[in-house]
């Protein structure tokens, strides 16, 4: 797939010390790129928008993403992280939130790549239960995808184009795009 904007280029993604874990480093960079591409589409006027009084605002979701990533990587994965009071950007604009997301993610790539099997398989406390660090990492990826999906819906409700994340959208497609929207497409590859 071709993305309009790539915040973390492949040349910035380090090689994992244990090649079997390269997918963790690649996935984190890729997921950060997807989130940054989405956040860039919001305007400063959108930050206080919410689809329902009980929903979070765009800004609250962006703040939560930055703060919860910091907590996951520091508390559960034992990464060096800035103090929580220094995580949010000074400016409260989508551009500032996006730049901070990318800046913090780039700092995490080397520690991600340096982890070996013993570290990834070590059980640590996770909200009162023991979980392996690799499980916690994937939980972080899913948590981030959840909030990115929220903001994707917000864009659609605001009447904006929705960017490609894992494949084509109603707004973004390309010649090789082959979405699985029919039984025929789903059956491809069956024996």
User: The pTM is what?
Assistant: 0.91
- Token look-up 């979980």 returns 131
| pLDDT tens figures, 18-52 | 999 999 999 999 999 999 999 999 999 999 999 99
Q: Is-contact 105 28, C-beta < 8 A? A: yes
Could you report the per-residue pLDDT of 92-135, keeping only the tens digit for each?
Answer: 999 999 999 999 999 999 999 999 999 999 999 999 999 999 99
Which segments of 11-132 does DSSP mark as H helices, in order?
22-39, 58-71, 94-114, 117-121
The tokens describing 14, both together, are 């380090």
Which residue's entry shows tokens 């973004």? 172
Q: What percent of the chain has pLDDT over 70?
A: 95
Distance CA 10, CA 133 (A): 25
Domains in the chain with CATH codes = 10-186 (1.20.120.450)
Question: Measured between alpha carbons, how far is 72 from 140 in angstroms, rounded to an integer?
Answer: 7
> Residue 165 corresponds to which tokens in the numbers above?
């994340």
Pair of tokens at residue 130: 């023991």
For the stretch 162-187, pLDDT in tens is: 888 877 676 777 777 777 888 988 88
């Amino acid at each position: 797939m071709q993305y309009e904007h790539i915040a973390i280029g492949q040349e910035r993604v380090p090689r994992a010390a244990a090649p079997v874990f390269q997918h963790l480093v690649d996935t984190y960079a890729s997921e950060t790129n997807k989130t940054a591409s989405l956040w860039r589409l919001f305007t400063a006027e959108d930050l206080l928008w919410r689809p329902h009084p009980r929903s979070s605002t765009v800004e609250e979701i962006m703040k939560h993403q930055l703060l919860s990533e910091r907590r996951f990587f520091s508390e559960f994965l034992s990464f060096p992280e800035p103090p929580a009071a220094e995580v949010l950007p000074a400016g409260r604009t989508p551009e500032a939130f996006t730049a901070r997301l990318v800046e913090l993610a780039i700092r995490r790539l080397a520690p991600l790549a340096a982890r070996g099997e013993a570290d990834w398989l070590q059980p640590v406390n996770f909200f009162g239960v023991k979980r392996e660090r690799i499980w916690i990492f994937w939980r972080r990826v899913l948590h981030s995808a959840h909030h990115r999906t929220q903001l994707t819906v917000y864009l659609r409700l605001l009447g904006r184009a929705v960017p490609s994340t894992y494949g084509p959208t109603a707004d973004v497609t390309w010649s090789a795009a082959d979405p699985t929207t029919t039984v025929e497409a789903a059956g491809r590859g069956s024996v």
